[in-house]
Amino acid sequence: MSVLKNVRGLAEWVPAELAAAAPVITVVGDVILDGWWSGSIERFCREAPAPVVDLQRRDYAPGGAANTAMNLAALGARVRLVGLVGMDDAGSRLRALLDDAGVDTTGLLSTAAIQTTTKNRIIGADQVMLRIDDQAGIPSDECIAELAAAVPDAVAGSAAVVVCDYGTGALGPAVMRALTAYAGSTLVVVDAHDPRPWSELEPAIVTPNAQETARLLGATFPAGTSGREELVTERRGELFEATRAAAVVVTLDRDGTVLLSKEGQAHRTWARPASEKQASGAGDTFVACLTAARAAGMPMTTSLDLAQAAADVVVGRPGTSVCSTADLTEYLGGLSSAILPLDELLRRVAGEREQGRRIVLTNGCFDVLHRGHTRYLTQAKQLGDVLVVALNGDDSVRRLKGPDRPINPLADRAGVIAALSCVDYVTAFDTDTPVPLIEALRPDIYAKGGDYSSQMLAEAPVVERCGGTVRILDYVPERSTTAVVEKIRTLPVESTANSTAHSTVESVVDSAVGSPAAPPSAPTGVQ
């Protein structure tokens, strides 16, 4: 059995491992009841030039911190929720939905002093026409004190705590003091409109979105989406100083996420293109999956890639929804059979070009994936908008590398590459060079690793003749498939067997940075 033979089961193994860990996770935050009221539009009202929506159904879902709790429960975590609701119909409905999902609502306190925050979207003809927000108001000191008093019992024995602060005023200094006792011994993740007040906790992870990051930096991002990644990377020192977090993950909606380290950019994920259907709460899903994976002991970059996949799942659904382990299995399984024939690839790339996107092509054997590969593919993605990876077919690999290669057949290699969020499309070719593919695809940029030069490439003049540019990327020394294979072959048989599962997940999904240790109270089954 080859080292990565189990990659075919990666889509099932990782979500199953996540659910099997079943970590206890406490969510402390602002809870919301989301309403999705839909109907038809056939006329305008007489009083104003406004459409009349004839309501046909009313759907409700937990939102805000309650949505984070729902996603955690769907991923197999044992969830406790601490928050405030009013003694009203909305509060009762919200509690019932959470109870049905298996969330422990002992810490969800009902009080007559506030009303439950609701956000009702009015949808007509598949279009959100209006959102009606009914805010809870600022809780009294007594309510906040009661909320803080519920924190110790809820957090006791938890592998992780997620703080969801949307600025309602409920999570004041009293709640902060209650959580401070657990800082350093429990994985703390802060998802807040303003993470600065939570810096006293020295959280393990903060997850500001683009707007929140801009406010925190006192900056204005460039128009559109370009330049945001560079700006947050350049000013990462300010983010770490303001949040005092061990890791900062900036979520960039359609552009995925950026994991920052104090030395620079540590990892990128990319959102896969999807047609949004009035989706809401994808950020809650991302935070939930990231926390669940870290609480289960998974490496940081593995956790980020899983969280991005979970967010991709819910963005393609209408309303406020959750991503379960079954959803992750199905989604990742779909990626593992992603070798596109040339005609289908050309059709999809034509659609990307119509949207003004720049096409990047790279190719290689990618036999046993390692850090050099993933760093290289991340850099290639950053050269344009859409990354196409062309894999040498098995016969082509044998001609290039010798009769004992490839270690892994084409289907397995494609499944691994397709699982990386930086890769948009995977195809294959059996010729000794990708020249015929380049002539058909006509990429805007052709990328190769730093162990080549443009003068060495037979493809270079073809790329330029087709109107493209050749880019040579960084070379990561002492990282090669040959070295990995040689190391495996020289290990004792027992050591090789014991390291197989670790190599599969660590090499396939984890990439640019090392694997931070699991939090002290988290299970350590996956490293």
Which residues are catalytically annotated?
284
Please count the other Cβ atoms lying within 10 Å of the Cβ belonging to residue 48: 6
Distance, CA of 117 to CA of 30 (rounded, Å)? 9
Distance, CA of 34 to CA of 118 (rounded, Å)? 6
User: Where would I find the beta strands (DSSP E) of 242-340?
Assistant: 247-251, 257-261, 264-269, 279-280, 319-320
Residue carrying the six token digits 């979970």: 310
Contacting residues for 321 by C-beta, under 8 A, at least 6 apart: 61, 279, 281, 314
C-alpha dihedral sign at 241, 242, 245, 251: negative
Residue 478: name the closest of 375, 379, 404, 391 by CA: 375
Report helix angle 282-295 to 10-21, nearest 10.
80
Distance, CA of 245 to CA of 191 (rounded, Å)? 12
- Which amino acid, residue 326? A
Residue 106: name the closest of 169, 162, 165, 149 by CA: 149
Q: How many residues does the chain have?
A: 527
User: Where would I find the beta strands (DSSP E) of 264-392?
Assistant: 264-269, 279-280, 319-320, 359-364, 386-392
